[in-house]
Chains A and B, each alone.
Chain A
Amino acid sequence: MAAGVATWMPFARAAAVGWLPLAQQTMPKPPVDKTSRSDEILFVNVSGLRFQTWKNTLDRYPDTLLGSSEKEFFYNEETQEYFFDRDPEMFRHILNFFRTGKLHYPRHECIQAFEEELAFYGIIPEIIGDCCMEEYRDRKKENQERLAEDTEAENAGDAPLPPDATLRDKLWRAFENPHTSTMALVFYYVTGFFIAVSVIANVVETVPCRPLKGSIKDLPCGEKFSVAFSCLDTACVLIFSCEYLMRLYAAPSRCDFARSVMSVIDVVAILPFYIGLIMPENEEVSGAFVTLRVFRVFRIFKFSRHSQGLRILGCTLQACASELGFLLFSLTMAVIIFATVMFYAEKGTKGTTFSSIPASFWYTIVTMTTLGYGDMVPDSIAGKIFGSICSLSGVLVIALPVPVIVSNFARIYHQNQRADKMRAQQKVRQARIRMAKKGATNAFLQHKEDGGLQGGDSDSTAFCVKNRSAFEHQHHHLLQCLEKTTNHEFTDEVTYSEVCMMDSMGFRTSRSTSLSSQQGATTTCCSRRAKRRAIRLANSTVSVSRGSVQELDTLHVTKTPVGTQYPQSRSSLNARTEDLKLNCTDYTAAIISIPTPPANSPDESLPNSPAIPGILRNSRSSIYNTQETVKISSL
């Protein structure tokens, strides 16, 4: 239950007077609070720091340590105070939670220590107030990541492989963590060297060298030393191919590896060479082949295996792709607008370079980025005016977003992460709150099952019933009054759907009607529960022998006289305690015979409905419970 509702309990109970004239049944007796004293001040000593608070304040949250009877374990008789050997500074925050209903996270505290204190006092961290929740989450995430990194760094890489590692594992490990063995390190540096060599060779190929003897024209070095360069290229490609094939072999999951970015880069780097081998020496095709050689420059991306920074940059660009895309889009818009304007402005001029709008794109881009090559210049006055507007707006458009984008990268990236985190955690939060709420509704139903409806009159009430707090007693009494007023009972979803299922299948046999007629006046919980269980049992025994059905009848026939004579036995059947005896032998006989139907395997010969196995499960578990108590008492 949420904050402070306990203080409104008297009001809710008083308002129940409004139901009384409508009630069709008698109201149950209210719980007698024998231990009720008027509100008193409690002393709580936390490692020497003494706190004082009203008892009511602590009672607001009955599912925490301080609000429940668990605190009695810490009560010191001599000093008449509750002593906790915990951090007094943290306790201040815990106590403030009880006082105000909001849990705040102290920023200067270690998050682990805070969580441990919360766990000790039985408070779930999810109820931290919104003001402190973000900080708490960030710190927690940071902490977890740091711990994960530490453990990962410990585990990954440096730990020796298990002795039964296959060659594949060893190879993969050597590739992924080069610093583990000297061979891997050597291989790492050799590949790095060859990448560099290949890239430099591609570059130097095109530099003009001194011409051959007897010719005037300068030759690019690639053509002069074509043999040397092609040998170098072949060697590099061979090494890259070997490396790729070895990685492919060693990869634990070949499909994933083949789809990863790095392997695509590898393939693109070596592909032109092989395509060149396959393609015939054809004039027109070799033109296209030459273009393919451009792709050799992609070999430089292979460096990203060797550089962490490149990988991070790639990830960042990937993450901010939408922002970059939008920037490109807005720039394109500007370019198109100004190009159109310039084209139409310069249309009248003779011999103008602004031959078409696409031709004006070039002018617009060069002007807006303030390059100003001067190859295209407007002549007309209108053209010059618009040209100047274009360059001014270019300054603003280009110069402003660049730092904004840079800072946007960081901000938007973190914001997105935080928003996604919060959305995911919001769902989890709501789910947990819903679960806790469901727990509260189930508590009443569980209380009924436990036979808590006897009221506080008999001393032999079960221990599990006694241990509930005064607040819970009162709340359950209130819900009982509502049940009596409306002449309907609270149930849970499962039972409700069972009953609906039964109604639709017409399983209301005469047995159950005879039950209700037998037990007209004595509508106590036990018989009611038995009625429910009988209906469930009736379903399960439908497919089973008639013998056990007979015993079912005898159970109910003997039940009512027993029920009226021995009120204690009813409650004792509910209790899980060992020292309460059963007073009726007929009970034991009948009950022992019951377990046989469920033992006839629930999977065979059951009607095809999903509710029935559930019913069977329920009845089985309840039967086994009663069976348990029977066994203990018959010893």
Chain B
Amino acid sequence: MGLVMGTFSMQSNKQDRTYRKDKIDDDFEMSIVCHRPEGLDKLEAQSNFSKRELQVLYRGFKNECPSGVVNEDTFKQIYAQFFPHGDASSYAHYLFDAFDSAHSGSIKFEDFVMALSILLRGSVREKLTWTFNLYDINRDGYINKEEMTDIVRAIYDMMGKYTYPALKTDTPKQHVDAFFQKMDKNRDGVVTLDEFILSCQEDENIMRSLQLFENVI
């Protein structure tokens, strides 16, 4: 009967509304939890940035993430904006793990600043160590072929479909083989940190390009 139908629909509406209200309440609560970074002086001492640069960085960071932390989804979204051609989500995932040194699931401003400090103002050894940690997905101190293939595939994913010359399925694998050829000195199938640093220091190109991103800020 119309009455019965009417009452049923009204009930479900009310339930939907209460459910939605709960979700909104949850979101509201989560967004209230915000994180404030340590003092400017402390950060300046810990990192290689000046106060002015830290201010600029923090203003940008706070504008994007008013709650003070970046979670993985936001991180992926932001990184994907720079690479609209392809799919940047897998590489962004590895980057996120590299930035999130404490493995807390979210990046705070301090993590952000420390990573940028190493990448932009650090010594060659520090930069290479950071890169090694990026490639070493499971943090066991060795890069094996599977990890490298994952990373390389993630990088190629960012290129998207329309490339010149066209990407073949074994292009990542070839790239990884070339990499291991160069880096794996004792041919034991894995690359350790020392092998990595040694091989990179021998390569002129890499050394030169490490200085490229100094003046980024």
Contacts and interface: CB of A to CB of B under 8 A. Distances in A.
Contact of B84 (A11, A26, A330, A441): A441
Interface string B72-85: 00000011011111
B163 A22 contact: no
Contacts of B85: 441, 490
Nearest to B127: A17
A333 B79 CA distance: 58
Interface in A1-54: 1-5, 7-24, 26-27, 29-30, 33, 38-39, 54
B34 interface: no
B119 interface: yes
Q: Which 3 A-B pairs have the closest CB atoms?
A: A7-B60, A14-B119, A330-B2
A81 B82 CA distance: 32
Interface in B125-143: 127-128, 130-131, 134-135
Contact of B216 (A10, A440, A503): A10
Contact of B179 (A22, A488, A489, A500): A22
Given A11-B116, A17-B127, A38-B56, A496 B164 contact: yes
Which one of B52, B115, B135, B164 has the highest number of Cβ atoms from chain A below 10 Å of its Cβ? Answer: B164
A265 B205 CA distance: 87
Contacts of A2: 81
Interface in A491-550: 491-493, 495-496, 499-500, 503, 532
Given A22-B155, A437-B84, A333 B1 contact: yes
A14 B163 contact: no
Interface residues of A, number: 69
Which one of A11, A393, A491 has the highest number of Cβ atoms from chain B below 10 Å of its Cβ? Answer: A11
A404 interface: yes
Contacts, number: 174
B162 interface: yes
Given A397-B3, A478-B82, A486-B156, A56 B161 contact: no
Given A14-B120, A17-B213, A441-B85, A486 B112 contact: no
B39 interface: no
A545 B174 CA distance: 42
A274 to B, nearest CB: 44
A268 interface: no
B190 interface: no
Nearest to A490: B85
Interface in A369-384: none
A20 B210 contact: yes
B52 A5 contact: no
Contacts of B161: 496
A54 B116 CA distance: 23
A11 B112 CA distance: 8
Contacts of A302: none
A52 B62 CA distance: 19
A33 B179 CA distance: 33
Q: Is the interface on chain B under 10, 10 to 19, 20 to 34, or 35 or more residues?
A: 35 or more
Nearest to B209: A27
Interface in B77-122: 78-79, 81-85, 95, 98, 112, 115-116, 119-120
Interface string B136-176: 00000000000000011001101111111111000100010
A12 B161 CA distance: 21
B59 to A, nearest CB: 7
Which one of A21, A54, A492 has the highest number of Cβ atoms from chain B below 10 Å of its Cβ? Answer: A21
Which one of B1, B158, B178, B183 has the highest number of Cβ atoms from chain A below 10 Å of its Cβ? Answer: B1
Contacts of B83: 479, 482
A333 B2 CA distance: 9
A17 B164 contact: no
B6 A20 contact: no
A21 B206 contact: yes
Contacts of B112: 11
B155 A13 contact: no
A1 B52 contact: no
A95 interface: no
Nearest to A38: B52
A396 interface: yes
A401 interface: yes
Given A22-B155, A29-B212, A496-B164, A8 B60 contact: yes
B5 interface: yes
Nearest to B207: A20
